[in-house]
Amino acid sequence: MAYGDRVIQQDLTFTVRRGEIFVIMGGSGCGKSTLLRHLIGLKKPRSGTICYNGLDFWQQSPSRKRHIMRNWGILYQGGALWSSMTLAENIAVPLKEYTDLSAGQIRDVIDLKLALVGLAGFQNYYPSELSGGMRKRAGLARAMALDPEILFCDEPTSGLDPVSARRLDQLILELRDSLGATVVVVSHDLASIYTIAGNGLFLDGETGTMLATGTPQQMLDAGNLKVGEFLTRGRDIEPLS
């Protein structure tokens, strides 16, 4: 992955398994969000392949790329809700754009998605009327509008207080379990990583490559000093039972 002559990361090799929560972790500026932009088709890698179900994404025709991307949902770091639209109108956008559902069916989907994220009854609220955690949940509801096979989340707990962050973590776990979606999360939030990560990789900004992959415990057991410092940071954090 590169911007101009500057290589951000190289020699990355990893597999995301269907139905798991895969966390891309590392310190600030190491390339986590850049990797996510590559994974969701916003930026082409300088070299290498990104495959979905065995298909090299960047070798597909434009129409085939759009078909593949149709199966993705994306929760952006700031929620990325349109401020001039209500929550219902925000969630309706992809439904109107990509489905043939009637107005009544779209309302039913909106009600269902908001209920799944704990926002039943908030259809007519505007983003400015919600707390930060509620906006993140509303963004998650929109990301799930089209029942994606893969849900991408960029720093879902950033800017949230610890209680709201853990609630969002629990929501991601519940959605994975109930919907069977594969979830790819960018995060440097240690509590969140230990709570949700079933697998993941650690990116290092200094060496410009990955230093470890696996569960958080497997990464710790590998004995890399940088990875160990990141995953402990002087604190004892236990995953939820």
Quick: pLDDT tens for 122-139: 999 999 999 888 898 899
Would you say residue 239 has pLDDT above 50?
Answer: no
* Residue 195, SS3 per DSSP: helix
Q: Which domains does the chain show, CATH number per domain? A: 1-71+150-235 (3.40.50.300), 82-147 (no CATH)
Tens-place pLDDT, residues 162-184: 888 888 899 899 888 888 889 99
The pLDDT tens digits of the residues spanning 23-82 come to 999 988 899 999 999 999 999 999 999 999 999 999 999 999 999 998 999 998 877 889
For 187-215, what is each residue's pLDDT tens digit? 989 999 999 999 999 999 999 999 999 99
* Spatial contact of 209 and 9, defined as CB atoms under 8 Å apart: yes
pLDDT value for 152: 95
DSSP bridge pairs for 84 = none
Query: For residue 167, what are its two tokens?
Result: 């609630």
Tell me what pLDDT residue 28 has: 85
The 3-class SS string of the chain reads: CEECCEECCCCCCCCCCCCCEEEEECCCCCCHHHHHHHHCCCCCCCCCCCEECCEEHHHCCHHHHHHHHCCEEEECCCCCCCCCCCHHHHHHHHHHHHCCCCHHHHHHHHHHHHHHCCCCCCCCCCHHHCCHHHHHHHHHHHHCCCCCCEEEEECCCCCCCHHHHHHHHHHHHHHHHHHCCEEEEEECCHHHHHHHCCEEEEEECCCCEEEEECCHHHHHHCCCHHHHHHHHCCCCCCCCC
Pairwise CA distance, residues 3 & 25, whole Å: 20
Please determine, for residue 232, whether its predicted confidence score (pLDDT) is greater than 50: yes
